Structure 1
Amino acid sequence: MEHTLRFRACLSDDVANEAWRHIDILRQIRNHAVRDYYRSDYSDRPSDYDQHGKLKGWTDQWSTFAQQSQHAIQQVISQIHSDLKTLQERQNEGYDVGRLKWQGAGEFRSVSYNQSSRFNVDDNTGDDRFV
């Protein structure tokens, strides 16, 4: 079972502006990865693993991309491929589906940071299942 924790943050204006700047850069990376996916030959579309491998080249080409956490970027690309899988499943069920859409400014509003190590989210309750 996968758990998702959501937090509402009340930030100062400076911190909020910096957070929105990072979210906007992740939106640009998402759009670039979607464009890369759809511009590839239909019989040779890149997997999420392939696109994770392209990250180094992208960050070398666009220095703005290098300012982001690699975990957050990988999470954005993994989400794209999860969405593509869902679209394919819906199409197999007989629904008309389109393509992933371009995300304009203000349409991409959240960030996921995956954690490679476990941490205790229940420290205040004494529950040590996640230690």
Structure 2
Amino acid sequence: MKQTDIQSFATSQLTLLDHELQAELAETQLLTSTHAPTVLQRAGLALLNLTPSSQRTGFGGKTLLELGLDPAVGGGDLPEHGLRTGDICAVAEQPKGAERKKERESMEERGCSGVVTRVQREAVTVALDKDEVEVPRGKLWL
């Protein structure tokens, strides 16, 4: 049996993981640029009408943002979705139905990215990437 070089195996695995990440990011970018947020929510890829219910500092100084449904929309449990712990996501101001594509893209750029750390029936917690983050105002989407 041929012995595997650990260094080359680890390097090849890291390269493959990076390719997978880049492919998923490209797919997500394509979906968000071609479909409205409501379509993405129906497919289980997004959550709309969210508001921050709490914000605190977590492990490593990361900002933990807990998002729940806006009480004006109904509050309570989140709709069905496919978000899981460990998913990379973006938190941005929710575009209105009549927003043009350029305005939607600028809203997404002003948003912040992070990783889902906890999923509950009524809230999702996201660890934001940057230490000092200004959370967008108004209704948010994930």
Normalised to the residue count of structure 2, the TM-score between the two structures is: 0.30
Normalised to the residue count of structure 1, the TM-score between the two structures is: 0.32
